[in-house]
């Protein structure tokens, strides 16, 4: 396990220095970075395993058997390049919900939940690291490259495997992330009717949500979100 800390808090650095995880290989770096992509790339270079997963600050692993299932699946089917699953999300309006991967066109945004994506190291070796120029959509950019390379994925539908805290930059800077996604679709020449419709739908839903919040109809928005994601 590798922890990359931005180096802003001495208490965090002290805690990591004293942390012992028994037989689990553990290393960390605590220093300023140039953003999420830079932090991801540091962790990638420091890691030693045959597969990699990135779990962000504030998120936590809730299915402790997930990695064992991934290891077994990789050994059963060597043609698989990555494995992904659903994640839990602490929504600020609807409360805890489960976000399943859309596995739809790239116009709808990330087709997989990146906090659950266990990707073989060879994929990074072939496609490169995360783009340091991107501030919000480095994971989407990498998935676009995976899509163009024809990478094969497997969906583990057992359970939500990671709980997200709902305060990450992808949640708080949503519209800016949409703009980056549109630029990446242009960069990789991935615009088609499906991706165009997915993009329009995504913007429409965003502005409907913003209107409901503006109109103080957050209780209605919470009900709609919980219905959409099958929450009780």
Residue 20 lies in a domain: no
Tell whether 23 is covered by a domain: no
Task: Answer yes or no: is 170 within a domain.
Answer: yes
pTM: 0.88
Confirm whether 41 is domain-assigned.
no
Token pair, residue 97, equals 């919900």
- Percentage of the chain surpassing pLDDT 70? 92
Contact 74, 51 (CB under 8 A): yes
User: How far apart (Å, rounded) are the C-alpha atoms in residues 138 and 117?
Assistant: 14
Structure tokens at 141: 């950019």
Domain residues for the domain of 224 are 49-228
Q: Is residue 34 part of a domain?
A: no
Q: pLDDT (tens digit, 9 = 90+) per residue, 22-63?
A: 556 777 777 778 888 999 999 999 888 899 999 888 889 999
**pLDDT recorded at residue 23:** 57
Three-state DSSP at 146 gives: helix
Number of compact structural domains in the chain? 1
Q: Is residue 19 part of a domain?
A: no
Phi first, then psi, for residue 153 (nearest 5°) are -115, 165
Q: Tell me the three state secondary structure of residue 170.
A: helix
pLDDT tens-digit readout, 101-156: 988 889 988 999 999 999 999 999 999 999 999 989 999 999 999 999 999 999 99
Instruction: Answer whether residue 21 shows pLDDT above 90.
Output: no
The answer to whether residue 185 is domain-embedded is yes
Token digits for 38?
Answer: 């830079």
DSSP per residue over 182-223, as a string?
Answer: HHHHHHTT---HHHHHHHHHHHHHHHHHHHHHHTT-HHHHHH
The pLDDT of residue 171: 54
**Could you tell me if residue 214 is inside a domain?**
yes
The region that residue 35 occupies, defined by phi over 0 for left and psi between -120 and 50 for alpha, beta otherwise, is left
């Amino acid at each position: 396990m590798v922890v990359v800390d931005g180096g802003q808090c001495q208490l965090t650095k002290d805690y990591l220095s004293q942390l012992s995880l028994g037989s689990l290989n553990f290393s960390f770096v605590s220093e300023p970075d140039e953003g999420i992509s830079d932090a991801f790339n540091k962790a990638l270079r420091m890691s030693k395993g045959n597969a990699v997963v990135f779990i962000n600050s504030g998120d936590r692993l809730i299915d402790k058997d997930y990695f064992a299932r991934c290891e077994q699946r990789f050994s059963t089917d060597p043609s698989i390049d990555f494995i992904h699953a659903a994640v839990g999300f602490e929504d600020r309006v609807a409360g805890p919900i489960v976000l399943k991967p859309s596995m739809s066109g790239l116009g709808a945004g990330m087709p997989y939940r990146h906090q659950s994506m266990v990707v073989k190291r060879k994929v990074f070796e072939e496609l490169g690291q995360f783009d340091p120029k991107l501030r919000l959509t480095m994971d989407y950019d990498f998935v676009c490259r995976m899509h163009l390379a024809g990478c094969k994925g497997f969906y583990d539908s057992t359970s939500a495997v990671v709980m997200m805290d709902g305060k990450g930059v992808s949640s708080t800077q949503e519209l800016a992330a949409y703009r980056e996604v549109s630029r990446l679709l242009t960069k990789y020449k991935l615009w088609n009717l499906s991706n165009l419709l997915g993009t329009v739908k995504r913007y429409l839903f965003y502005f409907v949500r913003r209107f409901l919040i503006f109109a103080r109809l957050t209780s209605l928005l919470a009900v709609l979100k919980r219905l959409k994601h099958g929450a009780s």
